[in-house]
Chain A
């Protein structure tokens, strides 16, 4: 393999890498994709929700054979204290009309399927191979050094889809270490239950799914959320908080302790009862947003997906940004090749331009203040869910106290906990962060 040269090398076979490799190979470029796992997906972790749109733009007929679990017809948002929850549910029959907007997926299966499409498109996919470092000629990336494959392989351009740790760009000095305040650490389990049991418990018909997002005491005072997703014959339950908060937590709570507490919460336990746990995963999620995105292109290289921090934490979107960045990086190479251009920084700026024009950077820019607001205002994850929960209990408990007095009690509890100016500031901050 030595001295063999490809048009494109893609490092990593997650959603961004597969989107890039597929798009480039489909256009006739010679593509080598290198994956360190036993098979594509075996190193990859996600919630996992698949948003159809981003994949449709790459493989329009993906629904024909992609391994999809359930299409989502209902979104629940629960705020929990230790014994109760207050929730909103949005369920619509409109979500039951194909083509469906989003699905739960199991990543190990989905990534394997996506990779089979990449191979069909003509890319050479090599697994069980870790890329150790980028090969540089001055500042220019000319290839990669693998721990197998006979070592060094070369390409006009290397697309880094190597995941949140972004090891290769960091080693090459393209950016520094990730800040603990810019990533969330999430842990989850998959619990198997018979299909019919899931459908009964969540009020679903076959193939219909529910997602539940959880906020409140389940994160032990840290900025973060929990989640419970329905797959075909399994449930995924998890919780994630900012890594900096885990580190600074005075209770020194371990992620798995947090997960176990969530599972035993009286509002959650009946939903997962009897589930057979078959895997426990952990993963970092880049949640720093717009301001944390590093340099994403240079001479002979581009960064896509989690490796570039492309996650919209406010909307819990990531894999769609990953696929879109992968596709746009490949399209940049395709256009440049056709024009006979060299793959230098000037040419690859086209990738950045494409991203700026897409929903990816527009959304990240819109929510650029969100990470900071949430960091500085942990009350959204601690005091508010408890206040709302207490308010509901006060209001709905019939005990001979008149309703006006109850309302005053509730208003007073909010003022006491957050003060009037605090409440106004909070409202302003949220408005400013999302407008």
Chain B
């Protein structure tokens, strides 16, 4: 069964208060993603599609659509390359229904 999904369309329905310029999650060492991580599982496991595999094997992270689940940190066991904090109080995803 082939279904193509644009996760941005889903995230568009959500309410966020983005903490501009202060991402609450960061890739510690981008080189590690490019050179040492074969699977780059974050690029398909993240339920908000925050991690993108670029053509040149780099991984980019944009946290604006983050649902604050924690999956990216938990799966990055071999490299512990995800510095993960909750957003500052009042920022981030604001679930209307939850």
Contacts and interface: CB of A to CB of B under 8 A. Distances in A.
B96 A108 contact: yes
A334 B1 CA distance: 56
A151 B71 CA distance: 29
Interface in A253-297: 253-257, 260-261, 264, 277-284
Given A36-B89, A185-B69, A257-B5, A180 B95 contact: no
A344 interface: no
Interface in A133-186: 146-148, 164-165, 167, 177-180, 183, 185
Interface string A170-214: 000000011110010101011000000000000000000000000
A279 B75 CA distance: 25
Contacts of B13: 277-280
A392 B90 CA distance: 52
Contacts of B89: 36, 127-130, 146-148
Interface size class of A (residues with CB under 8 A): 35 or more
B74 A180 contact: yes
Given A189-B10, A243-B74, A280-B13, A254 B47 contact: yes
Interface string B15-53: 001000000000000000000000101001111110000
Contacts of A254: 5, 7, 44-47, 49
Given A108-B96, A128-B89, A280-B10, A257 B3 contact: yes
The 10 A-B residue pairs with the shortest CB-CB distance in the complex, in nearest-first order:
A128-B90, A282-B47, A280-B10, A107-B98, A129-B89, A282-B67, A108-B98, A128-B89, A255-B47, A165-B70
Interface of B: 1, 3, 5, 7, 10-11, 13-14, 17, 39, 41, 44-49, 67-71, 73-75, 77, 85-90, 92-98
12 contacts: A41-B98, A42-B93, A43-B93, A108-B95, A185-B45, A189-B10, A243-B75, A244-B75, A252-B41, A256-B49, A280-B10, A283-B69
